[in-house]
Amino acid sequence: MQYKSQAVAKPYFIAAIGLFIGQIIFGLIMGMQYVVGDFLFPEIPFNVARMVHTNLLIVWLLFGFMGAAYYMVPEESETELYSPKLAIALFWVFLAAGALTILGYLFVPYATLAQMTGNDLLATMGREFLEQPLPTKLGIVVVALAFLFNITMTVLKGRKTAISTVLLLGLWGLAIFFLFSFYNPHNLVKDKYYWWWVVHLWVEGVWELILGALLAFVLIKVTGVDREVIEKWLYVIITLTLVTGIIGTGHHYYWIGAPDYWQWWGSIFSALEPIPFFAMTVFAFNMVNRRRREHPNKAAVLWALGTGVMAFLGAGVWGFLHTLAPVNYYTHGSQITAAHGHMAFYGAYVMVVLTLISYAMPILRGRAANSNKAQVFEMWSFWLMTVAMVFITLFLTAAGILQVWLQRVSDTPMSFMATQDQVALFYWMREWAGVMFFIGLVVYVISFFIKGETRAVTQ
């Protein structure tokens, strides 16, 4: 590695992978609970498993983003990190806060947890994805601000590049929009309205900037294509992202009590959201085709290309499927949403973090790339996880279509629970695909322990 302080990224990446494993285990538990309702009851109720599954995802992605930033920014800025010590201290604070929160979810009834953590002082809990107790939310803000201070100071004292600017914009946006998690108006319409400012403006706004910056960084490194060319693509992509994504928030405002015009605004702008993702795919393949060097880390290139394709399919195509108001009228909150959520998060954010880990981890461990044997393992894990995710998405989509038909379109609509019984077969198939995903993840972890001949760092 070029700068000593980049090493602080390593514990972040390791923690990310550790929490990723936890996320998938809870995913499997929940998947089972869909078909065997009392599985692990009362120890792990469904709502708790779901909370742990989604919260772990968010937390490990944040670990991944922070690790990525700590790795990338010194190299982009051509200077050591402003304070490596602060970065390590924040790591332990964030890990402890995250672990305590998950343990709280698992071992304390949620209402008691809310009482214990001062939810009566400022009620912020009980909302999907923002379930964290108040001290955790405050902790996230403190960690995020200190992290941003560290990163921003590094950028300010060093070289300024388009990649670090876009990354900073994304990370600052992430912190700023999280502040809306503290705003919890009594009016349910307003509550939902601003809840999306965290949820939507994260994943369909500022996170996409982070995604673009990470992908651009790895592509510069593995292809050797001119920075100028890659940065221009990055600008085009993030502009398209913001133009479509910000007003695209409207596709969540159709049925919550917001004014009618959101049905038009939301439909039109969010229908265009696949464009930046498509541009990203074209970008990744274009750059790899025009590569000026054969980077020894083939696995990282595979992850980078995979990110482009899967983000386009999961976020772009599967998002478009149910984004138009007349379609969403029927599909809202069905398994089609779950199908989209799974592939979008995997394709866009999981894969881009794994791309960066794949590229950076060997260098952090003192080699340009892992041994051939280790890379073969990693590439197997890529295909196992990716194909499994395609199956999960297809089975959930099938479940969703059947659900919408039986429950909402049919002349003799069935109740929610009666419908769930009818789609159980697809839930079983999804669970098996989940097992395949978990096997892929195990292979991924094993790949870190495979030895073999490696090349020394060349740069």
Partner 1 sequence: MTSHALTVPNSTGPRLAGDLAIWFFIMAELLAFAVFFAAYAFTRAAHVEEFNLAQQALNRNAGAINTLLLLTGSAFVVRAVQGALAGESRRAAPWMLAAIASGVAFLVVKMVEYSAAFDHGVSLSSSTFDMFYLSLTFFHFMHVILGLVILGALWLGLRAGRYGPHNMNGLESGAAYWHMVDLLWLILFPLVYVIH
Residues that bind partner 1 (CB under 8 A): 226, 228-229, 232-233, 235-236, 239-240, 243-244, 259-261, 264-265, 267-269, 271-272, 275, 279
Tell me which residue of 102, 117, 104 sits closest to 59, measured CA to CA: 102
Token pair recorded at residue 415? 């109740």
Nearer to partner 1, 244 or 381 (CB): 244
Q: Shortest gap between Cβ of 162 and partner 1 (angstroms)?
A: 12
Among residues 159 and 290, whose Cβ is nearest to partner 1? 290
d(CA 456, CA 441): 27
CB nearer to partner 1: pick between 268 and 445: 268
Work out how close the CB of 171 gets to partner 1 at its nearest, in angstroms, rounded to a whole number: 24
Residue 235 or 428 having the CB closest to partner 1: 235
- Spatial CA neighbour of 101 closest among 65, 60, 67: 60
Instruction: Please answer whether residues 377 and 420 qualify as being in contact, where contact means their C-beta atoms are separated by less than 8 angstroms.
Output: no
- Please, which residue, 7 or 243, has the CB nearer to partner 1? 243
CB of 185 to partner 1, least distance (A): 21
CA distance 401 to 424: 13
Nearer to partner 1, 263 or 297 (CB): 263
Residues in CB range of 220: below 8 A, 6 or more apart: 163, 227, 230
- CB nearer to partner 1: give 113 or 216: 216
CB of 240 to partner 1, least distance (A): 5
Q: Residue 124 or residue 263: which is nearer to partner 1 going by CB?
A: 263
CB of 261 to partner 1, least distance (A): 4
Q: How far is the CB of 161 from partner 1 (least distance, A)?
A: 16
Cα distance between residue 334 and residue 398, in whole Å: 11
Q: Residue 415's Cα: distance from chain center in Å? A: 33
User: What's the rounded Cα separation, in Å, for the pair 171 and 76?
Assistant: 16
Please give the Cα distance from 17 to 296 (Å, whole number): 23
Min dist CB 326 to partner 1, Å, is: 11
- Distance, CA of 330 to CA of 259 (rounded, Å): 19
Whether the CB-CB separation of 253 and 267 falls below 8 Å is answered with no
206 vs 258, which CB is nearer to partner 1? Answer: 258
CB nearer to partner 1: pick between 17 and 240: 240
φ and ψ of 224, to 5 deg: 70, 10
Q: What minimum distance in Å lies between the beta carbon of 235 and partner 1?
A: 7
* Smallest distance from partner 1 to CB 286, Å: 8
Distance CA 30, CA 267 (A): 32
CB of 180 to partner 1, least distance (A): 23
